[in-house]
């Protein structure tokens, strides 16, 4: 009896010691080595791919953000149509404990999806409303509105829109900026990224990079 | 090029990459687990542990090692979460509540990585890097060790000795997981995944002002989360978050990492039992099921059934533009057919049929190809059952790899396959009658309200007991009821099967080998692979069909 207690104690100690030494290897040395090499070799990327414009950081090229001109009386953001607009964002992980903030969209610290099912009435309603908004705002028939313009992404921080959605916004953006549609369309075409190696993923347009280029183009006017 | 064609090409590229890695990695792992020599760093580690890595263990001793090590893991992880508020580098996050800390500790030690917390809202550097990421390594290495012990049970005779747990654990970590993880992490960083310790800091925004954002050791955690089929995300959005999975290439690379060890272990198995063709038969079985599921998933996602997706025009809800539908479908099958549970797109928003495939994939017991180690031992237990059924059909004593499958072996195998269904169906049923548990369902307003909500709960327990960890995240799982029951389901679903696997291994290793005769079932032939696929589908189908009918089937048909 006494012997088996001693054996159990010895075994548990061995388990704990194994855990501690492997914690040092996998939890301290490994991440520090990786961080060291990453910071030395790819410091821009390892620190979040920040984009600067005229010496100021304007965000990360990997994370989406909103382009608003303030909020209305209810606290809902008003999109600034001089700029290209991103996808809708649920951006509210279901694990969020605090009461939802007024504007959780593209909140960098609340990544997440809507998690609404394909037959969920809230989602059906949201998709239809967004479709109507895009169609009216940009003056196109609803049948031309692409899927990514009316659905929220998995991360809620999708930095990209489809080329279709970007092109659909061209006329309105050109008008708001007093520019010709051809000029803006060329800007969009220059920012379309094809599939990686021709077959990986989907073609897309990085909204932040496009808007930075757009602001550079139009800056003289404001 | 159409998105569907691009999807097929991505799948083809993935298969080619896996095929290239199969032999070298499988042979390497076979050498690692049978080498008599220790590396210098390993000798230092054994001295720290105070264990003799050269003693052979019989199955009870091997099991005691597994359990003692895992118990230490649960306690340590629980403790550092409970103390988080007092630790340095915690980014100001408070300590985690007892039920959630238990759930998370159980989850990561059981290789499940179910998360009832939101990474960027709750966990600081210490818990993420020195707690969670460590279990990503060692729980994977533990799974591989148990699988190798079972393979030794088949390979050895008249001994009962299954190897040394400490040696298998340390070798799996030092020689297999860490080298791949270092290279993989740097590839991810080169593509844009972050790797820093800048904590919570401000980043300027285009329209002016700034936002708070989280820095962290993300790439180093991301790579082992996929490679060790763990799945717990640094951020709430998991592998959909651009800092975890920045490009379409990294998405394919992460799928590759998920699948590479589970598939290559079949080569290791073939090498260790002295007949690589036996490994190919197991590989073929896994491959057929995986490919079938992937094809069905791509088909249903491109067809985008369901009123909301029909209105949108494509199944893009919960999916990222850079991946698109095809790549997301491949990821979601890879993650549910292994015990990974990482997500690059949100499963709750898939088509009803797609959600059903994810559920069914986990219900198969995650053996196609399954978690690192757990996939192989799960599949070998299924092979034992298939051999037994074949034996009954022709009236011969069943045997597999020269070992007799007698009463004791079949009892252990039967216990193994009964554990998870019991946990899944038992806890789901209990949740359906408790008012508190019912209140956690998000999708109660869905058309056909009941079915999607039921699917969420069924998915949660299926995911927990099978050690997957992905979620139909509509369910608010951070309640004492779900934290505790899912925590229990994860621990019991991980360690009870290991008990039976190791007992089976011990029993096999004690046997005399039976010489092969003309009447022996040729388990390296396609016929056997076909029989094995059938056995898996029939057993899973009979067990779960009633529950699936109440959830995804009812939703899909409504």
Which run of H or of E encompasses B210?
Answer: strand B210-214
- Interchain CB distance below 8 Å, A145 and B313: yes
- Interchain CB distance below 8 Å, A154 and B207: no
Cis bond upstream, residue B369 (ω within 30)? yes
The pLDDT value given to residue B436: 67
Q: Give the whole-angstrom CA distance, residue B3 versus residue A73.
A: 42
Over residues B70-93, the pLDDT tens digits come to 999 999 999 999 999 888 887 888
Q: How many residues does chain A have?
A: 222
The pLDDT value given to residue B117: 79
* Coil/strand/helix, residue A49: coil
How far, CA to CA in Å, does B253 sit from each of B40, B112, B258?
32, 21, 9
* Mean pLDDT for all residues in chain B: 91
- Interchain CB distance below 8 Å, B321 and A161: yes
Nearest-CB residue to A154 (from B191, B197, B318): B318
Is residue B149 within 8 Å of residue B502, measured between CB atoms?
yes
Is residue A30 within 8 Å of residue B178, measured between CB atoms?
yes
The token pair that represents B481 in the structure block? 């009821």
Query: Which residue out of B244, B322, B495 would a mutagenesis test of the A interface target, given it has the greatest number of A Cβ atoms within 10 Å?
Result: B322
Nearest-CB residue to A154 (from B170, B197, B346): B346
Nearest-CB residue to B241 (from A22, A35, A155): A155
Over residues A12-29, the pLDDT tens digits come to 999 999 999 999 999 999
Q: Give the whole-angstrom CA distance, residue A126 versus residue A144.
A: 17
Range 164-193 of A in CB contact (< 8 A) with B: none
Is residue B319 within 8 Å of residue A153, measured between CB atoms?
yes
B350 touches chain A (CB under 8 A): yes
Is residue B456 within 8 Å of residue B443, measured between CB atoms?
yes
Is residue A21 within 8 Å of residue A14, measured between CB atoms?
no
Which run of H or of E encompasses B506?
Answer: helix B480-510
Over residues B137-183, the pLDDT tens digits come to 999 999 999 999 999 999 999 999 999 999 999 999 999 999 999 99
Is residue B68 within 8 Å of residue A12, measured between CB atoms?
yes
Higher pLDDT, B259 or A95: B259
Over residues B414-428, the pLDDT tens digits come to 999 999 999 999 999
B46 touches chain A (CB under 8 A): no
Q: Give the whole-angstrom CA distance, residue B92 versus residue B84.
A: 9
Sign of CA dihedral B300, B303, B306, B309: positive
Angle A87-A88-A93 from CA coordinates, rounded to 5°:
120
Name the residue of chain A whose CA is nearest to B136's CA.
Answer: A26
pLDDT band at B410 (very low <50, low <70, confident <90, very high): very high
> B56-60, B313-317, B471-475, B526-530: lowest mean pLDDT where?
B471-475
The beta-carbon contacts of B510-518 under 8 Å, at least 24 apart in sequence, are B510/B158, B510/B159, B510/B160, B511/B157, B511/B158, B511/B403, B511/B404, B512/B157, B512/B158, B513/B157, B513/B402, B513/B403, B514/B399, B514/B402, B514/B403, B514/B404, B515/B402, B516/B402
Q: Give the whole-angstrom CA distance, residue A68 versus residue A83.
A: 9
Range 80-119 of A in CB contact (< 8 A) with B: 80, 83, 87, 93-97, 107-119
B447 vs A contacts (CB less than 8 Å): 119-121, 124
Over residues B503-519, the pLDDT tens digits come to 999 999 999 998 888 88
Q: Give the whole-angstrom CA distance, residue A65 versus residue A44.
A: 19
Q: Give the whole-angstrom CA distance, residue A49 versus residue B193.
A: 9
- Interchain CB distance below 8 Å, A95 and B118: yes
Nearest to B451 by CA among B356, B539, B318: B356
A159 touches chain B (CB under 8 A): yes
A219 touches chain B (CB under 8 A): no
The token pair that represents B7 in the structure block? 């999807």
Q: What is the pLDDT along chain A (222 residues), one digit of tens a residue?
A: 578 888 889 999 999 999 999 999 999 999 999 999 999 999 999 999 999 999 999 999 999 998 988 877 776 778 999 999 999 876 543 333 334 333 357 888 878 888 888 888 888 998 999 999 999 999 999 999 999 999 999 998 999 999 999 999 999 999 999 999 999 999 999 999 999 999 999 999 999 999 999 999 998 544
B220 vs A contacts (CB less than 8 Å): 30-31, 34-35
Higher pLDDT, B331 or B440: B331
Phi, psi of A70, deg, nearest 5 = 80, -170
- Interchain CB distance below 8 Å, A30 and B182: yes
Could you tell me what percent of chain B has a pLDDT over 70? Answer: 97
Q: Give the whole-angstrom CA distance, residue B372 versus residue B141.
A: 8
List residues bridging with B203 in a β-sheet.
B211
Q: Give the whole-angstrom CA distance, residue B65 versus residue B155.
A: 21
Nearest to B383 by CA among B273, B233, B291, B476: B273
B43 touches chain A (CB under 8 A): no
Q: How many residues does chain B have?
A: 558
- Interchain CB distance below 8 Å, A155 and B237: yes
Nearest to B129 by CA among A24, A43, A93: A24
Nearest to A87 by CA among A21, A22, A164: A164
A15 touches chain B (CB under 8 A): yes
The pLDDT value given to residue B456: 83
Name the residue of chain B whose CA is nearest to A211's CA.
Answer: B206
- DSSP 8-state secondary structure symbol assigned to residue A150: T
Higher pLDDT, B480 or A170: A170
Sort strands B399-400 and B403-404 into parallel, antiparallel or unpaired. antiparallel
Is residue A65 within 8 Å of residue B206, measured between CB atoms?
yes
Query: What is the least distance, in Å, from the CA of A189 to any CA of chain B?
Result: 17
pLDDT band at B341 (very low <50, low <70, confident <90, very high): confident
- Interchain CB distance below 8 Å, B319 and A204: no
Nearest to A115 by CA among B554, B225, B455: B455
- Answer whether 0.90 is exceeded by the pTM: yes
Query: What is the least distance, in Å, from the CA of A149 to any CA of chain B?
Result: 8
Sort strands A160-161 and B399-400 into parallel, antiparallel or unpaired. unpaired
3-state helix, strand, coil in chain A (%, to 5): 50, 10, 40
Name the residue of chain A whose CA is nearest to B207's CA.
Answer: A67
List residues bridging with B214 in a β-sheet.
B200
- Interchain CB distance below 8 Å, B45 and A118: no
The pLDDT value given to residue B366: 85
Higher pLDDT, B317 or A117: B317
The pLDDT value given to residue A14: 94
B351 vs A contacts (CB less than 8 Å): 118
CA A94 to chain centre: 17
Phi, psi of A172, deg, nearest 5 = -65, -45
Q: Give the whole-angstrom CA distance, residue B39 versus residue B308.
A: 57
Question: Quick check: B498 pLDDT over 70?
Answer: yes
> A28-32, B184-188, B391-395, B435-439: lowest mean pLDDT where?
B435-439
The pLDDT value given to residue A96: 36
Q: Give the whole-angstrom CA distance, residue B301 versus residue B309.
A: 10
Q: How many CB pairs under 8 A join A and B?
A: 403
- Interchain CB distance below 8 Å, A158 and B211: no
Q: Give the whole-angstrom CA distance, residue B109 versus residue B436.
A: 27
* Coil/strand/helix, residue B93: coil
The domain spans of chain B are: 25-204+211-274, 381-557
Range 433-492 of B in CB contact (< 8 A) with A: 442-443, 445-448, 452, 472-478
Nearest to B109 by CA among A5, A23, A11, A9: A23
């Amino acid at each position: 009896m006494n012997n088996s207690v001693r054996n159990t104690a010895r075994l548990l100690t061995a388990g704990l010691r194994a855990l501690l030494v492997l914690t040092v290897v996998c939890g301290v040395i490994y991440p520090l080595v990786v961080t060291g090499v990453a910071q030395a070799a790819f410091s821009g990327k390892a620190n979040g791919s920040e984009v600067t414009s005229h010496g100021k950081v304007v965000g990360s090229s990997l994370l989406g953000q909103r382009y608003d001109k303030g909020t209305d009386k209810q606290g809902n953001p008003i999109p600034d149509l001089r700029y290209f607009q991103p996808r809708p964002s649920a951006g509210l992980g279901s694990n969020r404990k605090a009461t939802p903030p007024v504007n959780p969209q593209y909140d960098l610290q609340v990544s997440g999806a809507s998690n609404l099912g394909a037959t969920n009435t809230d989602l059906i309603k949201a998709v239809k409303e967004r479709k109507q908004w895009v169609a009216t705002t940009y003056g196109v028939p609803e049948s031309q509105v692409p899927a990514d313009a009316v659905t929220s992404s998995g991360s809620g921080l999708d930095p990209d829109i489809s080329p279709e959605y970007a092109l659909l916004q061209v006329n309105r953006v050109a008008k708001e900026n007093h520019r010709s549609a051809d000029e803006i369309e060329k800007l969009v075409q220059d920012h379309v990224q094809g599939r990686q190696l021709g077959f990986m993923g989907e073609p897309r347009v990085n909204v932040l990079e496009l808007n930075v280029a757009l602001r550079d183009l139009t800056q003289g006017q404001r | 090029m159409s998105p569907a064609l691009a999807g097929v090409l991505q799948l083809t590229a993935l298969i080619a990459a896996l095929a290239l890695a199969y032999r070298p990695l499988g042979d390497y792992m076979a050498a690692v687990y049978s080498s008599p020599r220790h590396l210098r760093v390993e000798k230092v580690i054994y001295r720290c542990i105070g264990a003799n890595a050269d003693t052979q263990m019989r199955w009870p001793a091997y099991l005691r090692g597994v359990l003692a090590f895992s118990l230490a893991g649960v306690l340590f992880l629980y403790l550092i979460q409970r103390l988080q508020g007092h630790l340095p580098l915690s980014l100001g996050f408070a300590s985690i509540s007892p039920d959630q800390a238990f759930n998370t500790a159980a989850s990561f030690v059981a290789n499940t990585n179910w998360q009832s917390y939101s990474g960027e809202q709750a966990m600081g550097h210490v818990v993420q890097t020195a707690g969670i990421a460590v279990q990503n390594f060692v729980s994977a290495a533990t799974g591989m060790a148990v699988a190798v012990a079972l393979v030794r049970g088949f390979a050895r005779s008249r001994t009962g000795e299954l190897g040394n747990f400490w040696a298998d654990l340390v070798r799996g970590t030092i020689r297999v997981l860490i080298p791949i993880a270092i290279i993989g992490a740097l590839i991810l960083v080169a593509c844009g995944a972050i790797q820093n310790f800048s904590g919570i800091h401000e980043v300027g925004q285009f329209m002016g002002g700034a936002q708070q954002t989280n820095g962290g050791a993300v790439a180093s955690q991301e790579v082992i989360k996929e490679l060790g089929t763990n799945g717990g995300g640094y951020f709430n959005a998991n592998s959909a978050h651009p800092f975890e999975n920045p490009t379409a290439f990294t998405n394919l690379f992460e799928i590759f990492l998920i699948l590479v060890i589970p598939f290559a272990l079949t080569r290791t198995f073939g090498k260790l039992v002295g007949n690589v063709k036996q490994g190919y038969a197991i590989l073929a079985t896994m491959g057929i099921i995986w490919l079938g599921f992937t094809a069905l998933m791509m088909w249903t996602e491109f067809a985008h059934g369901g009123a909301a997706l029909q209105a949108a025009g494509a199944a893009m809800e919960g999916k990222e533009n850079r991946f698109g539908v095809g790549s997301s479908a491949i990821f979601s099958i890879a993650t549910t057919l292994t015990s990974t549970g990482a997500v690059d797109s949100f499963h709750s928003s898939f088509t009803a049929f797609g959600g059903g495939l994810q559920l069914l994939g986990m219900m198969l017991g995650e053996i196609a190809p399954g978690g690192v180690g757990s996939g192989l031992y799960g599949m070998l237990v299924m092979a034992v059952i298939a051999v037994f059924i074949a034996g009954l059909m022709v009236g011969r004593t069943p045997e597999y790899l020269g070992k007799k499958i007698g009463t004791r072996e079949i009892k252990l195998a039967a216990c193994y396959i009964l554990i998870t269904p019991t946990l899944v169906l038992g806890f789901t049923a209990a949740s359906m009658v408790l008012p508190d548990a019912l209140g956690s369902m998000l999708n109660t307003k869905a058309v056909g309200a009941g079915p999607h909500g039921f699917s969420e709960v069924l998915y949660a327990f299926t995911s927990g007991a099978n050690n997957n960890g992905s979620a139909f995240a509509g369910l608010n799982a951070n309640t004492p009821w779900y934290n505790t029951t899912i925590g229990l389901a994860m621990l019991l679903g991980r360690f009870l099967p290991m008990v039976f696997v190791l007992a089976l291994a011990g029993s096999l290793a004690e046997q005399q080998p039976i010489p092969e005769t003309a009447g022996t079932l040729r388990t390296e032939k396609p016929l056997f692979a076909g029989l094995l696929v059938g056995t898996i589908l029939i057993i899973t189908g009979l067990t779960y069909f009633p529950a699936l009918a109440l959830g995804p089937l009812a939703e899909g048909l409504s």
